[in-house]
Amino acid sequence: MMLCLLAGLAVALQAPPPTDTTATIQGFVQADPATGALTIVTPLPVTALDRSSYVVKLGSRADKWSKFSGQFVEAAGLLARDASGALALYANAMRAVDPPGTSHRIYNSGYTVRVKLALSVIPNRFAWAQNGRSTGVNPTVVYTIRNTRTDPMIIVLQTDDLVCMSVQQAGITIWDSTTLAPRPNHRRFVFQHGGDFRELFQLPQRAAPGPGRYTLNVGFCQVDDYDMRMEFVVQ
C-alpha cells in the first residue's frame, strides 16, 4: 500500500508543466521587422512557461490590434508558447495606457498655445545587471506634445537642434544629448488639433551608470515653454 502511495506521489510530482496561463502585459505594440507580425515589446522581461523574453507575439486578431501600433498598451489574455516555442499572447482586451511613472504637464499661454506634455522613462525603475550578469534592459524615453487647441500650432526652429536632453544626479549633469530635426522642411513643425509630436530615444548606460536616483530633463532646444523633467531609479 505504501509503495502504491509513493508511486502515485511520484506521478503527481512529475506532472507536465502548464502549457498556457492568463496574463496581463504592458509594452509597445510593434511589427516584427522580419515577418511584419505584431508583437508587444516589454520594458522588463516576461517570464512564464519556462521562457523569458522582452518580446511577446500577438497570437490572434492582428487586424484588431494593429490600430495600437506604436503605442504603449496593456493587453490581457491567454499566454502560451507558439509552434516555435516563443511566448505568444492570445489577447482578448487591449487599451492604450501611460507607462508607469509618466510625468504630465499642461502649458497654456491663452489663445495662442495650449498643449499637453508627457515624459516617460520605460521602465522607470530598472537594473543594468543582476547577479553579475547583464539584464538586457533597454530603457526608452518617450517625450510627447499634444496640441489641444482647435487651431494648428506652428513651431519654427532657428537651427537643426530639435530635442535637448540631460541626466542629472544630485544636481550635477552627467550626460546630455541632442536630436536633430528631420528633413525636408526640417525646421518647421505644424501640429493640427489633437496632433502629437513624439520623440523616442534609448537611454544609454553611460547616462545613468550606477545605482541611484536620477533626474531626466527633456525639451525643445530653442523653446523653454515645453521643458519636462522626471525622476527614474537605477537599482
User: Which CATH number applies to 103-234?
Assistant: 2.60.40.2970
pLDDT digits (tens, 9 = 90+) for 136-185: 898 999 999 888 877 777 778 788 888 999 999 999 999 999 988 877 55
Closest Cα partner for 99 from 79, 126, 77, 78? 126
Taking 60 as the threshold, does the pLDDT of residue 98 lie above it? yes
Domain boundaries, the chain: 18-96, 103-234
Contacts of 64 (CB under 8 A, 6+ apart): none
pLDDT digits (tens, 9 = 90+) for 5-60: 434 444 444 445 557 889 999 999 999 888 888 999 998 889 998 889 999 999 87
Domains 18-96 and 103-234 share a fold: no
Contacts of 174 (CB under 8 A, 6+ apart): 167, 168, 207, 208, 209
Give the mean pLDDT of the chain.
85
Torsion of CA 88, 92, 93, 99, to 10 degrees: -10
- Tell if the pTM clears 0.85, that is, is over it: no
Q: Which three cell numbers stand for residue 211?
A: 545605482
The domain made up of 18-96 has a fold known as OB fold (Dihydrolipoamide Acetyltransferase, E2P) (2.40.50)
Taking 80 as the threshold, does the pLDDT of residue 224 lie above it? yes
Q: Which three cell numbers stand for residue 62?
A: 492582428
